[in-house]
Amino acid sequence: MRQAVYAPQGVVATSQPLAAQAGLAMLREGGSAVDAAVAAAVTLTQVQPGSNDLGGDLFALVWDGKELHGLNASGRAPAALSLAALTGAAQPPNGALGGAQARAPLAPPARGWLPVTVPGAPAGWQDLHARFGRLPFERLFADAVHYAEQGWTVSPTVARRWAESVAAHRALDHPECRAWADVYAPDGRAPRAGELFRNPGAGRALRLIGGSHADSFYRGEIAQALAAYAADTGGLLTAADLAEHTSTWVEPVRTDYRGHTVYEIPPNGQGVAALQALALLDGLPGHGLHEQIEAMKLGFADAHAYVADPAAYPMPDLLDPAYLAARRALIGDRAGDPPPGDPMKGGTVYLAAADADGMMVSLIQSTYQGFGSFVVLPEYGFGLQNRGAGFSLDPAHPNVAAPGKRPFHTIIPGFLFRDGAPLGPFGVMGGHMQPQGHLQLVLATVDDGLDPQQALTRPRWYWHTERQVEVEPEFDPVLVEQLRSRGHEVTVATDRSTFGMGQAIWRIPGGYVAGSEPRADGQAAAY
């Protein structure tokens, strides 16, 4: 069992040790927590490639010592995208978003050019650095460039998921996806744990992004190459789509729970689902596992019905006390039966960083499903996300696909305050698991007083659909039987990837205490 890491000056917690060390190096050089977080995030694109890449999106929460800031660095659909195009290539519903959207007769395609939206991560790195960074932007790319060009030794969890993606890629017949194998399976297979992997094309792209403060990605050489490749292979992404991209600084949304305040990024992310579940539980005199699951179901039902790009559809106030009281009354003694769905697993990385001056960062980035769209830009060695698969094809749904619109996002960074003071950043990656992971980590911290590592190590539950709940093998069998007696259909899962991967850092009088996900290869690196 991993032990919590105590750090007197700073700490970086990620799901892959090389990325944690890259961030730690920035702290040792006098960089800020944002410098450390960006360096770790950039490095993760190389050492955990199935979960994130240069062509993905990013969200972040930053405590600067006085104020909490939110950054939405997610991209928008190409201007040429149409609902008709997505509907014409639609597939049977995958239930990616569960709830009401899972009842749609068809879902957007998940691979190829159609689900590709403008990547927001490179702009997000630059925007974070411009506001809070201390070191030269290009310096933050040094470790990632080194691993891309000189190689890195593949870690076990990454190797296992990489192999699963190779199998998924073999089933595709999209011409635009063929270059993926040249980069990520050059020998016809995924690299095994302990093998060296190089991606010199990504090294080239990283040098261009770092040297241009991301301008090359949106208006320079990389943008031109992306637009040309899309035009040659049937994609909708254009130079204008890339040049018009901007991140958005946002006001975090919040709710209180037992003397603590939990903050999340507002829509188009699903953080409000976790907040609503916590607010529902806060209004109960006491609660157990049954009530936690039922509150989470209600949070998902509303999030999947109302979360969309706020520029297109302002979300109703799902945290209004009167509305919460009405929703809370729906939590009964028996398992409820929410709208059906079949939530899929995501491809995401979450990291947290803190420095000696008290700055703390909660950052998450993703290409969505494993390796995203499987579209890779030749000679530049990076893949593009498939976030367009998160759109609805229902014309009446707030999240219906439209040009220039941001889709529903699963990835959510979290931040916890105690008695009005910042405690620290936290997150649990993993598609539909993310709000559930946030809920369970906060409850373990607030109700049970666990340190970050203990909270992350605790066995998790995962609500799947309807009355179906999965639990990890170590889950208390007494609790399992109690759930079954109340109508929950509980199964003990054998695949731990369902339960997500997280990191957390809490501020303490002597510095920080941190934990890193035991279900991953990660590390909390202290300074």
Q: What is the 3-state secondary structure (H, E, C) of 11-80?
A: EEEECCHHHHHHHHHHHHCCCCHHHHHHHHHHHHHHHCCCCCCCECEEEEEEECCCCEEEEEECCCCCCC
Q: Residue 210's pLDDT is what?
A: 98
CB 264 within 8 A of CB 271: yes
Element (H, E) at 276: helix 271-282
Burial class (CB in 10 A: 0-12, 13-18, 19+), 412: buried
Q: Judge whether residue 490 has pLDDT over 50.
A: yes
Closest CA to 99 of 398, 429, 489: 398
Higher pLDDT, 231 or 429: 231
What average pLDDT score do residues 118-132 get?
98
How is 68-132 classified by DSSP, letter by letter? EEEEEE-----TT--HHHHHHT-BS---TT-GGGGGSS-B---SSSTT-----HHHHHHHHHHHH
Q: Residue 161's pLDDT is what?
A: 92
Q: Give the model's confidence band at 440: pLDDT under 50 very low, under 70 low, under 90 confident, else very high.
A: very high
Q: Give the model's confidence band at 101: pLDDT under 50 very low, under 70 low, under 90 confident, else very high.
A: very low
Label the pairing between strands 468-471 and 461-465. Answer: antiparallel
Q: Residue 149's pLDDT is what?
A: 98
Strand order across the beta sheet in which 5-7 lies:
5-7, 511-516, 501-508, 421-429, 414-418, 260-264, 253-257
> Residue 45 corresponds to which amino acid?
T
Q: Residue 315's pLDDT is what?
A: 85
348 is catalytic: yes
Burial class (CB in 10 A: 0-12, 13-18, 19+), 88: exposed
Give how far Cα 197 sits from Cα of 141, 146, 182, 474, Å.
18, 12, 13, 34
Q: Give the model's confidence band at 93: pLDDT under 50 very low, under 70 low, under 90 confident, else very high.
A: low
Element (H, E) at 240: helix 239-243
The pLDDT tens digits of the residues spanning 24-42 come to: 999 999 999 999 999 999 9
Catalytic entry in 348, 367, 445, 457: 348
Its pTM stands at: 0.94
The pLDDT tens digits of the residues spanning 373-423 come to: 999 999 999 999 999 999 999 999 999 999 999 999 999 999 999 999 999
> Residue 281 corresponds to which amino acid?
L
Q: Residue 337's pLDDT is what?
A: 73
Could you list the beta-strand ranges (E) of 124-223.
152-153, 196-197
What average pLDDT score do residues 217-222 get?
98
Q: Residue 134's pLDDT is what?
A: 98
Mean pLDDT of the residues in the chain: 93
Q: Residue 92's pLDDT is what?
A: 63
Look at the block and give the residue holding tokens 């994609």. 235
Report the DSSP beta bridge partners of residue 348.
Answer: 366
Q: Residue 271's pLDDT is what?
A: 94
Q: Judge whether residue 98 has pLDDT over 90.
A: no
The pLDDT tens digits of the residues spanning 299-354 come to: 999 998 899 999 999 888 999 999 999 899 999 999 987 553 333 445 688 999 99
CA 315 from chain center: how many Å? 21
The pLDDT tens digits of the residues spanning 416-425 come to: 999 999 999 9
Closest CA to 295 of 335, 266, 258: 335
Cα(392)–Cα(376) distance, integer angstroms: 25
Cα(354)–Cα(357) distance, integer angstroms: 8
Look up residue 261 and give its two tokens: 């305040």
Radius of gyration of the chain, Cα coordinates, nearest whole angstrom: 21
CB 205 within 8 A of CB 381: yes
DSSP type of residue 153: E
What average pLDDT score do residues 445-454 get?
97
- For 112, list phi and psi in degrees, rounded to 5: 85, -170
What average pLDDT score do residues 289-294 get?
96
Closest CA to 463 of 211, 292, 222, 327: 292
Q: Residue 346's pLDDT is what?
A: 53
